[in-house]
């Protein structure tokens, strides 16, 4: 895993990739194209998970489904990815009630090519670790989080990071402190005057 961990590092441009997808809202298949997402000037959240028909994964899908409209509101497409095929995605979506509200495209990466690109391919099992990645409209990787198989993610945190990045894209001179949630919350403007005075600056806001 160590050699793969920095296949794409935070701050770097992600090479274009394509994935065959299962589209829950249509009940059919499609394609996710990162290059097309860049041309459309949209954010992309790539959410890797180990496998269909598993346990923690189903709860993550349900949590992500509840927030999908908020991601779209912030001009972000969400694509989930595992090393299953699109046909297995379809079968899982039909059977698992936790996926009933899922509307985001489910990417199929049976060869592990894209999973390896992001450094989350487990060579021992052939599965993806729980990796979450945000890609800017310019194609830059802005955020990365990786969990082991048995720990589910907080999808609210992924949304929070997206909102912070969207805000900073318009307010590049600022920085979002810990627990920042949305526009209107206190931010910091790094400068020589702020050194050693962060507490005082936040108290004024």
Contact by Cβ (8 Å): 24, 147: no
**33 vs 39: CA distance, rounded Å:** 10
77, 185, 202, 180 alpha-carbon torsion, rounded to 10°: -30
Angle at 19 between CA 48 and CA 21, to 5 degrees: 85
Is residue 6 annotated as part of the catalytic site, yes or no?
Answer: no
Task: Given the residues 6, 9, 57, 176, select the one marked as catalytic.
Answer: 57
Task: Give me the helices (H) in 10-154, please.
Answer: 34-39, 56-73, 86-95, 113-117
Burial of 27 (0-12, 13-18, 19+ CB in 10 A): exposed
CA distance 73 to 77: 10
Q: Is 5 in contact with 116 (CB distance < 8 Å)?
A: no
CB distance 102 to 89 below 8 Å: no
The residues carrying an active-site annotation are 57
């Amino acid at each position: 895993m160590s050699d793969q961990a920095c296949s794409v590092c935070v701050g770097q441009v992600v090479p274009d990739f394509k994935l065959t997808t299962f589209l829950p809202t249509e009940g059919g298949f499609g394609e996710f194209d990162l290059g097309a997402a860049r041309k459309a000037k949209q954010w992309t959240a790539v959410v890797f998970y180990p496998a269909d028909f598993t346990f923690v994964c189903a709860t993550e899908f349900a949590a992500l489904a509840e927030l999908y409209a908020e991601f779209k509101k912030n001009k972000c497409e969400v694509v989930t990815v595992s090393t299953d095929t699109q046909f297995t995605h379809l079968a899982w979506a039909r059977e698992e009630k936790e996926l009933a509200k899922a509307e985001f495209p489910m990417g199929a990466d049976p060869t592990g090519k894209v999973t390896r690109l992001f450094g989350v391919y487990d060579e021992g099992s052939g599965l993806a670790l729980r990796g979450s990645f945000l890609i800017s409209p310019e194609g830059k990787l802005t955020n990365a989080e990786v969990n082991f198989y048995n720990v589910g993610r907080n999808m609210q945190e992924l949304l929070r990071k997206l909102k912070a990045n969207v805000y900073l894209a318009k307010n590049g001179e600022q920085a979002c402190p810990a627990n920042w949630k949305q526009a209107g919350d206190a931010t910091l403007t790094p400068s020589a005057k702020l050194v050693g005075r962060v507490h005082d600056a936040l108290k004024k806001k």
